[in-house]
Amino acid sequence: MSLTYDFYNPTTIHFGKGQVASLPKHLTKENKILVVYGGGSIKNNGVYNEIATALEGYDWLEFSGVEANPTYETMNKAVELVRKEKVDFVLAVGGGSVIDGCKYLVAASLYDGDGWDFLDGSAEVEKALPLGVVLTLPATGSESNMASVLSRRETDEKRFFFSPCVFPKFAVLDASFMQTLSDRQLANGLVDAFVHICEQYLTLPNSSLVHDGYAETLLKGLVKLANDWENRNEPLWQENLMLLANQALNGFIGSGVAQDWATHFIGHELTAFYGIDHAQSLAVVQPQLLRVMSSEKNEKLEQLGRNVFGVSGDAEDTIVLLENLYQSVGISTNLNDYANVDDKVLDNIIPALEAHGMSAIGENGTITLEVSKQILTMTQK
């Protein structure tokens, strides 16, 4: 079947060392700029100073303390600041959490109601302040996509919204900012990007040579980086991860093809309840989900094994290769290896999936709550 789609991605990418110097191309001296960042890593690695230099002579202020898995509660404080100071441009400096928090911020600041309406689906974003990004952790692709994932502390919820209004205007991708990332963060980035590609590729066969071919190129790149893990602190390794993770979720390989995302939906609930890192939640869920769904995904699993790993085995052989890949960069695929996990996993996660409208997920809508239960049971080995 031929594909039909619209592909739209307006984010300008400034890739390479020193590209923070491009910031002024997007700003005027009349702008009131809010620089938003997380817990302070940018203060320790020189990124903050580079930005301050690039913004010399501009009118800017800052908001810090956006947490990993950004919260509604924290970002509402930023909304107050934007309104009080009449901010008209937001610059997010960080990883997916800061960027996602800022996507909420730019939309909620111009909205009359409660910004959570975007997350629970009761309102669509109609307008947003302009947003720019300086990326410090490649993983989510948030720097040039229209998705935002936010958590709400009081209800243990982690929800998402999409809007073309929150596409960043530009993103600076300077891999030298990655030098202070820990092994855990690098591994998380690699695994998150890998699973993003799988969510868009490991579904139904399609007729486009470009979509599958490009997805496989990106997957092979990530496998190569995992095999070359000992060089993870080298500039070229990091630069490659930065581009691979960006391309994995900038919208192209998913345009017009069947998409899954069930691993993400179940993984988000594990993070909401147990605080497991986003990528770790994916590494736990995905292999078991693929096992349970292997008859529907058989053709693509074999294609993945053949074209990415170079083996001509069956679906189960490919799944074992994926588990080995995640484990090879230090990420466990066993839920019981993570702190805080209790014996209430099914009691917590299944009702949350139901409440969030996740009762028929996957590319065919066949992952019912019963199937999710089966998958989650298999994650606790």
Residues binding ligand NZQ (CB under 6 A): 38-42, 45, 68-69, 94-98, 100, 136-137, 139-142, 145, 147-149, 177-178, 180-181, 185, 188, 192, 249, 264, 278
Residue 180 binding: pick among ligand NZQ, Zn ion, none (C-beta 5-8 Å cut-off by kind): ligand NZQ
Residue 202 binding: pick among Zn ion, ligand NZQ, none (C-beta 5-8 Å cut-off by kind): none
Cβ–Cβ under 8 Å, residues 276 and 284: yes
**What distance in Å separates the CA atoms of residue 313 and residue 52, rounded to the nearest whole number?**
53
Q: Return the exposure string of 256-270: e unless at least 16 CB atoms fall within 10 Å of the residue's CB, then b.
A: bbbbbbbbbbbbbbb
Could you tell me which residues come within 8 angstroms of residue 118 by beta carbon, excluding any fewer than 6 positions away? 104, 107, 108, 111, 124, 125, 161, 163
Kindly state whether residue 277 participates in binding Zn ion, applying the rule CB under 5 A.
no
Question: CB-wise, 82 or 137, nearer to ligand NZQ?
Answer: 137
Q: What is the crossing angle of helices 345-355 and 369-379, to 10°?
A: 150
Question: CB-wise, 75 or 137, nearer to ligand NZQ?
Answer: 137
* Stretch in the footprint of Zn ion (CB under 5 A) among 68-76, 127-135, 155-163, 186-194: 186-194
Q: Count of residues binding Zn ion (CB under 5 A)?
A: 1
Smallest gap from Cβ 362 to Zn ion, in A, equals 16
Residue 145 binding: pick among Zn ion, ligand NZQ, none (C-beta 5-8 Å cut-off by kind): ligand NZQ
| 176 exposure class (CB count in 10 Å sphere: 0-12, 13-18, 19+) | middle
Cβ–Cβ under 8 Å, residues 349 and 273: yes
Question: CB-wise, 74 or 280, nearer to Zn ion?
Answer: 280
Question: CB-wise, 119 or 315, nearer to ligand NZQ?
Answer: 119
Single-letter amino acid code for the residue at 230? E
Question: CB-wise, 285 or 335, nearer to Zn ion?
Answer: 285
Residue 141 binding: pick among ligand NZQ, Zn ion, none (C-beta 5-8 Å cut-off by kind): ligand NZQ
Q: Report the DSSP beta bridge partners of residue 160.
A: 149
Question: CB-wise, 174 or 192, nearer to Zn ion?
Answer: 192
Kindly state whether residue 143 participates in binding Zn ion, applying the rule CB under 5 A.
no
According to DSSP, the β-strands at 360-361 and 367-368 are: antiparallel
Residue 136 binding: pick among ligand NZQ, Zn ion, none (C-beta 5-8 Å cut-off by kind): ligand NZQ
Residue 149 binding: pick among Zn ion, ligand NZQ, none (C-beta 5-8 Å cut-off by kind): ligand NZQ
**What distance in Å separates the CA atoms of residue 263 and residue 367, rounded to the nearest whole number?**
10
Residue 203 binding: pick among ligand NZQ, Zn ion, none (C-beta 5-8 Å cut-off by kind): none
CA 17 to mean position of chain CA atoms: 23
Smallest gap from Cβ 29 to Zn ion, in A, equals 38
* Stretch in the footprint of Zn ion (CB under 5 A) among 17-25, 122-130, 142-150, 192-200: 192-200
Residue 286 binding: pick among Zn ion, ligand NZQ, none (C-beta 5-8 Å cut-off by kind): none
Long-range contact set of residues 315-322: C-beta below 8 Å, sequence gap at least 24 = 315/290, 316/291, 318/290, 319/287, 319/290, 319/291, 319/294, 322/286, 322/287, 322/290
Kindly state whether residue 192 participates in binding Zn ion, applying the rule CB under 5 A.
yes
Residue with the shortest CB distance to ligand NZQ:
38
Smallest gap from Cβ 354 to ligand NZQ, in A, equals 20
- Which residues from 213-272 bind Zn ion, rule CB under 5 A? none
Residue 148 binding: pick among ligand NZQ, Zn ion, none (C-beta 5-8 Å cut-off by kind): ligand NZQ
**What distance in Å separates the CA atoms of residue 68 and residue 85, rounded to the nearest whole number?**
25
- With H, G, I as helix, E, B as strand and everything else as coil, classify residue 136: coil
Question: CB-wise, 211 or 278, nearer to ligand NZQ?
Answer: 278
Q: Which residue has the tokens 């980035």?
A: 189
Measured between its terminal Cα atoms, the distance across the chain in Å is: 40
Smallest gap from Cβ 98 to ligand NZQ, in A, equals 6
Smallest gap from Cβ 282 to Zn ion, in A, equals 6
Nearest to 379 by CA among 347, 357, 348, 346: 346
Interface positions with Zn ion (CB under 5 A): 192
